[in-house]
Amino acid sequence: MSSEIPIRVDTVPTPNPNAIMLRVQETLVASGTHEYTPDDDLKSSPLAQALLSIKGIELILIAPRFVTLRKSEDFEWPDIAPIAKDAMREFLGSSQMAVFESGEQIDPAQLGAIEQHILKLLNEEIRPAIAMDGGDLNYMGFEDGVVKVQMIGACGSCPSATATLKMGIERLLVEEVPEVRAVEQV
């Protein structure tokens, strides 16, 4: 009789009908998020290789305790999700690293006070909220009063991403940082 505890992978819906999250107890990456499509060089992520080999999956976002999968509209979740969950369990049982970190991060010390404040708000207020829906954002810069971000994961193609951007992110940043006039998706 095996005393091995099964690896738990929970399926969590997102506001984007073409994206789901797979939540796990294990840590996949130390911090941040990593987004991949089948066209990317996948050598840096064995997990991305495994999940993007599943027919119908067109994008994945790897975060510390979840993976967001986005499917093609030609496929249905009941056909893809069980295969993806099995692939996650198999991967987690292999003891491989999900992503070989590249170290390509913005160094806040290299930014001015305004951008440091913007990044702090994005990291502490915005990113945790959108991570709950299987997404994330990349800070792309601040110029002429405009904060530029790239919505990724479930947020990248979500029908409500514009509302999140304008009514959530922009509203907070405009209220908290007087120099911010707008937030744009790039």
Residue 101, in any domain of the structure? no
Q: Above 80 in pLDDT, residue 184? A: yes
Query: How far is residue 153's CA from residue 149's CA, in Å, rounded to a whole number?
Result: 13
- Please state the domain count of the chain: 2
Choose among 145, 27, 129, 23: nearest CA to 137. Answer: 129
| pLDDT at res. 101 | 67
Residue 99, in any domain of the structure? no
Residue 100, in any domain of the structure? no
Amino acid at 29: V
Domain at 70, CATH number: 3.30.1370.70
The Cα angle at residue 173 between residues 126 and 183, in degrees rounded to 5:
90
Task: Pick the more confident residue, 101 or 49.
Answer: 49
| pLDDT at res. 107 | 67
* Whether residue 74 is found in the same domain as residue 121: no
Residue 42, in any domain of the structure? yes
| pLDDT at res. 159 | 72
* Whether residue 72 is found in the same domain as residue 119: no
| pLDDT at res. 50 | 95
For the chain, the first-to-last Cα distance in angstroms comes to 54
The Cα angle at residue 60 between residues 58 and 66, in degrees rounded to 5:
150
Model confidence pLDDT, tens digit, residues 153-162: 777 777 777 7
Residue 102, in any domain of the structure? no
Which residue, 37, 63, 93, sits at the end of a domain? 93
Range of the domain at 52: 9-93
Residue 181, in any domain of the structure? yes
| Edge-to-edge order in the sheet of strand 34-36 | 9-13, 19-24, 66-71, 57-62, 34-36
Which residue, 64, 93, 122, sits at the end of a domain? 93
Q: How many CA atoms lie within 13 A of 82 on its CB side?
A: 2
Model confidence pLDDT, tens digit, residues 65-74: 999 999 999 9
Domain at 169, CATH number: 3.30.300.130
Most confident of 2-16, 34-48, 132-146, 152-166: 34-48
Of all residues in the chain, the percent with pLDDT exceeding 70 is 93
Supply the DSSP string of 53-105, one letter for each residue.
TSTTEEEEEE-SSEEEEEE-TTS-HHHHHHHHHHHHHHHHHTT--S-------
Residue 81, in any domain of the structure? yes
Residue 151, in any domain of the structure? yes
| pLDDT at res. 1 | 47
* Whether residue 112 is found in the same domain as residue 89: no
